[in-house]
Structure 1
Amino acid sequence: MNAPTDISSADAHIGSSYIPSELLDSIEVGIAVLDRNFNVQVWNKFLENHGAKKAEAIIGDSLFTHFPEIEERWLKTKVDPVFNLKSPVFIIWEQRPYLFKFDCNRPVTCAAEFMYQNVTVFPIVDKNGHVERFCMLVYDVTEQALGKLGMEHLNEELKTASRVDGLTGLYNRRYWQERFDEMHKLCVRRDKPSTALMLDIDHFKRINDTYGHQAGDKVIKMLAALIKRCVRETDLAGRYGGEEFAIVLNDSSVEDAQAVAERIRQLAQRLVVEHDGESITFTVSLGLAQFSPDFKGAMAWLECADQALYKAKEGGRNQYCIYA
C-alpha cells in the first residue's frame, strides 16, 4: 500500500492510477482517499477550501477526529459493502443533506445554511485484488437541492391556497364540501354522533352599507378568528359563502354542539370591530342538525342545519335553533 500522500505537495497514486496533483486540485469535486481505518491519505483543494482544513493538517489522521458531525458507526456500516463486496456506495442529499458540514459559500442570496452534498464512495482495488483503501467523491448539489426544495415548498403553498379561503384562513367552500362528504360517509359507517352547524352574520348588508365593504371584510375575518378559537382540530370549519360559515363538530351530539353554538353567539355579541374610527358590533344566528342515518346524503344533512338557521333568523336572530 502506498504511503499517505499530501496532494498539496505531491502527485497522488489512487489504485494503479497516477493522478497529477494539479488535476485533483482543479476539479470542482471533493476527492478524499481513506484506508480501512478511515485515516485520510488524499485530501484535495476542494475539500481544503470548503472544510477549512489543510491537507497537511488532516492527512494521516482519522476522518472522525476532524469531522465530529459524522457519525462513525453509521459511516462505517454504510461503507462496509465497499470492502466486502467491492461495490460502490452512494449517499444522496435527499436521504442525508450532507456528509461534511461545509458552509454554503455561495452569494449572499443563497438560502442554504450548509452545502448540500451527494457522495460516491468506491473501492480502490490493489494489484492483488484486495481493497485496502477507498475513494470518496463529494459533489456540491446545493443549487439543485434548493431548486427541488423550493418547488416542493411552492407546491405545498399552492395546495394550501387551493384549500383555504384567502380572507378568513378557514377552508374554502369547495374543499370544505369535499371534507364534509368524507365525514358524512364516516358517520354512516360509525355509530357516533356528529353535528353540523350553519351560521351567518345578522343584518350583514346593513354593516356593508353603513361602514363599507372593507369594514364588512374585517367583521368576517374577526368572526372567523373567533370560530377557530371555539372549535377543535378534529372539527371542520369553513367559509361557506359571503358572511355564511359551516362547521361540523366531530363526535359531538347536538347537546354538546349547543354549548359551542352558544359560546360563539355570546363571543360574537361582545366582539367590537374597530374600523376608520368606528366601533362595529354585530350578532350571529346559528342552525344545528345532528347526523341521522335517515338523511339521504351529505347535502340533506347540511340542508337541515340550514333550515334550523332560517328558523333562528325568523325567530328574531342572535340565537341558535336545532333541527327537529
Structure 2
Amino acid sequence: MIKSTAASSLYFFVIAYVALQTWLFPITYQIDLYSLFFGVMITATLLFSFVNMQKVKYNPDVYKYLMSGFFFLFVAMLTDTLDEIFVQPWLLGALFEDTGQLIGFVLVTYGIGKWIAQNNANSSKLKKLSETDDLTQLFTRSHFNYQLTNLLISPRIETFSILLINIDNFKLTNERYSQAAGDIVLKRLANKLRDCVRKTDTIARWGGEEFIILLNNSNDEIAKQVAEMIRKNTELLCVEYDQDIINITVSIGAVTYKDELKSSELINSAEQCLSKAKQQGKNKVHVRISTETE
C-alpha cells in the first residue's frame, strides 16, 4: 500500500512536470532520437530504483539518504531528457540537471556507504555470535573444529596438544541443585580454564559439560603439566549457590599431535584418553601421544 501510494505520487509528479514543460517551452527544431532514447532508458531505470527504495524502509538512516538521492537524480535525468524535446532556459538546466545530479550522487553515495558500514557491523556481530558460546563466552565446537582443520592443513604444522575436559558427576549437580546452578558451574570453570592457559591457546565448549583446549607449541610433558594444573585448580574451585558450596572435579584426556592425522582421528584419541581417565576413578588425567597404538 505504501509502495503504491509513493509510486502514484511520483507518477503524478512526472505527468505534472512534463505537462508544465509542454505548456511553458516550445519543441526543439530537431530531436536527437539517439540521445532521447538513452535519456528515457536512464530515467526509467532511476524511476524504478526510486520506487523500489521502499524495500529498505526498515532502515530509516539509509532509506532517507537513498530516497532523497535517487529523487534528485531522477529529476535531473528527467529534465535532461525533456531538454532533448523542449527548448529549456539555461537556468533550469543548471538548477535541475547539474545541481540535482551533484546533490543526488552525494546523497546516494553517502547512503550506500552508510549501508555498507552497517552491514559490515552486523556481519561482525553475527560472526561473533556463531563463534561464541552464549553461556560461557568461549568458542563454539564448530569454530574449534574450523581452527583445528586449518591448523592440520597448514604447510608447516608445529606440534600441539588437545585437552578434552569433562566435569565429573555434572548430571548429579543439576539434579541436586538445579540447572541454574549447573550453568554457574560451567561459567566458573570456563573462567578458570582461561586462567590456566596462554592467550595463544584456544578454549571451546565442546558440548554440555565438556570443554576442549588446543595448546599450541606443546608436547606430552607440557600437555600433562597443563592438564594437571587444570585438574588441581578445579578441585579448589568452590561454587556458591543458594547458601551452599558446590565442589567439582574434572577428568581430562590429553593427546599430542606428532604425525599426519585427520582432525576427527585426533579428537577420537582425546575422547579415548578421557574415557580412560573416567575409568581410573575420575578426577584423573590420562595423556597419550596421538601416534601411540591402541
Same fold, TM-score > 0.5, yes or no: yes
Residue among 140, 155, 158 paired with 2:126: 158
| Alpha-carbon shift at residue 262 of structure 1 (Å) | 1.4
- Provide the TM-score with structure 1 as the length reference: 0.53
Across the aligned residues of Structure 1 and Structure 2, the Cα RMSD in angstroms comes to 2.3
Q: Hey, what does 1:71 align to over in structure 2?
A: none
The answer to whether the 8 Å contact 1:195/1:289 transfers is yes
Q: Hey, what does 2:272 align to over in structure 1?
A: 307
| Alpha-carbon shift at residue 151 of structure 1 (Å) | 3.0
Q: Hey, what does 1:73 align to over in structure 2?
A: none
Which moves more between the two structures, 281-290 or 224-233?
A: 224-233
The answer to whether the 8 Å contact 2:145/2:263 transfers is no
Residue among 186, 189, 214 paired with 1:248: 214
Separation in 2, partners of 1:158, 1:246: 23
| Alpha-carbon shift at residue 221 of structure 1 (Å) | 1.1
Paired AA for residue 165 in structure 1: D
Separation in 1, partners of 2:157, 2:112: 51
Paired AA for residue 267 in structure 1: N
Separation in 2, partners of 1:279, 1:179: 37
The answer to whether the 8 Å contact 1:199/1:309 transfers is yes
| 3-state SS of paired residue (2:153) | helix
Aligned length: 187
Structure 1 or 2: larger helix share? 2
| 3-state SS of paired residue (1:237) | strand
| 3-state SS of paired residue (1:169) | coil
Which moves more between the two structures, 137-146 or 197-206?
A: 137-146
Separation in 1, partners of 2:185, 2:171: 12
CA deviation digits over 1:134-173, x for unaligned, max 9?
A: xxx9978887665543332222111100111111111111
| Alpha-carbon shift at residue 256 of structure 1 (Å) | 1.0
Structure 1 or 2: larger strand share? 1
The answer to whether the 8 Å contact 2:160/2:257 transfers is yes
Paired AA for residue 290 in structure 1: T
Q: Any residues of structure 2 matched to 1:157-306 within 5 Å, and which?
A: 157-186=125-154, 189-190=155-156, 192-293=158-259, 295=261, 297-306=262-271
Structure 2 regions of 5+ residues with no counterpart?
A: 1-60, 62-101
| Percent pairwise identity | 34
| Alpha-carbon shift at residue 179 of structure 1 (Å) | 1.1
Paired AA for residue 210 in structure 2: E
CA deviation digits over 1:87-138, x for unaligned, max 9?
A: xxxxxxxxxxxxxxxxxxxxxxx9xxxxxxxxxxxxxxxxxxxxxxxxxx99
Higher relative contact order (CA 8 A, sep 6+): 2
Separation in 1, partners of 2:115, 2:160: 44
Separation in 1, partners of 2:140, 2:113: 33
Paired AA for residue 190 in structure 2: A
The answer to whether the 8 Å contact 1:194/1:254 transfers is no
Paired AA for residue 302 in structure 1: I
Separation in 2, partners of 1:257, 1:203: 24
- Provide the TM-score with structure 2 as the length reference: 0.58
Separation in 1, partners of 2:282, 2:149: 29
Separation in 1, partners of 2:254, 2:176: 30
| 3-state SS of paired residue (1:301) | helix
| Alpha-carbon shift at residue 277 of structure 1 (Å) | 2.0
